[in-house]
Amino acid sequence: MSTSMFDSKIVAIALGLFLLSGLVAQSETINFKVDLKGSNEVPPNDAKGTGVITATFDTVTKKLSWNITHSGLTANPTMSHFHGPSNPYRTAPIIIPIPGNLVSPIEGSVMLTDEQANDLMNGRWYLNVHTAAHPPGEIRGQMIPSTSKP
């Protein structure tokens, strides 16, 4: 085989691989950092507790991972979960319950469906933390993407 023919085959293979690489989904990690407070609840409450949820969402695997911290609550949390679809001014059904021990920090992850991922990415989910003193929720925050990076 001549060098010219060999070079042409290499170029053809390289071009094919380049074109195929454009078909492979590019993963993007979406970041969330959301303040949790009583004034975000519906209706708002005067609870002094606060919290923060930092979360990441992988757009290809659809894995949502979170770390929730809270302090100053009236008592230990009784429940915590993601709700949606919703906006900041109304309530919504539970989408993802947060299992296990709810002592701060709370870490976990879950795989989302396409519909759940769409609602999350469009800011239609919120997280709240419930206590005995505030059964509907003591602190809440709307899950709005904060930054993204390739």
The single residue listed with the structure tokens 């947060």 is 98
Query: Using one digit for the tens of pLDDT, what is the confidence trace for 87-126?
Result: 889 999 999 999 999 999 999 999 999 999 999 999 999 9
Phi and psi torsions of 2, nearest 5°: -75, 160
- Rounded Cα–Cα distance for residues 88 and 143 (Å): 10
Contact call for residues 81 and 98 (beta carbons, < 8 A): yes
Please choose, from the candidates 44, 58, 61, 30, the residue with its C-alpha nearest in 3D space to the C-alpha of residue 145: 30
Contact call for residues 64 and 112 (beta carbons, < 8 A): yes
For domain 27-149, give the CATH number: 2.60.40
The predicted model scores a pTM of 0.80
